[in-house]
Structure formats: C-alpha cells, structure tokens
Amino acid sequence: RRVDLLHDRLDWPEVEESGGTLEENALLKARAVAAATGLPALADDTGLEVAALGGAPGVHTARYAGPEARYADNRRALLAALDGVLDRRARFRTVVALVVPGEAELLAEGILEGVITTAERGGAGFGYDPIFAVDGRTLAEMTEEHKNLISHRAGALAALAAGRYLQW
C-alpha cells in the first residue's frame, strides 16, 4: 500500500518493457521513475529461462503465448513447446535495478533453479508456479513462506544489499 500512496502523491509514467533483456527492462523502469520523481527508484524484471528452448521465454515470459495471453495460456504454450522433451531444466531469473539520480546505476540478479513439470500441480501462486518445480514440488504446492525463502526476487534484493552487482 505504501507504493500506492507514493504513486498517488508522485506522478510517474507507465513504462513499456521494450528492452531486449531483463537488465534493460529493469533499468528502463527505474530510470523513468527516478527521472519523474527525482527520488531513488528500484525496479525489477523477471524471466523464466528454459534450457531446452535456448533460454526462452526469457524477456517474453509474460507474453509467451501472445500479447493478450493470460497465465494459463502461457503455461499451456510452454508445456506444448516441451512436449516429449526430456531436458526440462529451467530457472527464474530476476534482475533488480537501483537508480539514484546523479549517481551510479546498480544491477543485481537472483536465480531460482528448477524444472518444468509435464502437467500442472498445486493450487497456490500465480504465473508459471503450477509447472515450475524445485526439489520435486511446484511453487504452487509450496507455502507462501517457503516460496518467499527461496524466491529469485528475494535473491536479487539480497544480492543488491550485499553489493553483489552485475557488470553493466
């Protein structure tokens, strides 16, 4: 809710994620908010990278099944693309960008390794959670607390706080 309150008092634009990489999209968003508000801005972008698909859907994760696709459409498209594929290794990768006006721009990443299941399992979570498994359980089968402990987003923020930056 604090972000909503800030947004009500400060005006910043919706930012189109037009970058070709997660790094570019995170920076686009953080730069736009920092420029509009004059305040430090933190933004992220996340992608699902599947080994057998050469890292796809990657930066197109949210639109994998098309620009108007919903979560279920994306899951079905990914399962169809991997039909009969044995190598189901995948990872979620989040890149966070911290932009402080007049200072350096910092990037950090968090990664959660897993596999794509052959069918949906579990009733919790969102997005690709029902088909992304870690240690035999999909993210949709985990408690919110456990999911947050292993989260790629939490990992990216921890890396940023620890000074483990990506070179840009």
Task: Quote the pLDDT of residue 5.
Answer: 47
Q: Tell me if 166 sits within 8 A of 108, measured CB to CB.
A: yes
Q: Which contacts qualify for 131-138: CB closer than 8 Å, 24 or more apart?
A: 131/75, 131/78, 131/79, 132/48, 132/90, 132/92
Looking at 44, 45, 73, 135, which residue is catalytic? Answer: 45
**Mean pLDDT across 118-133:** 96
**Mean pLDDT across 132-160:** 96
Considering the chain, what is the average pLDDT of its residues? Answer: 92
Whether 129 is a known active-site residue: answer no
Q: Tell me if 119 sits within 8 A of 88, measured CB to CB.
A: no
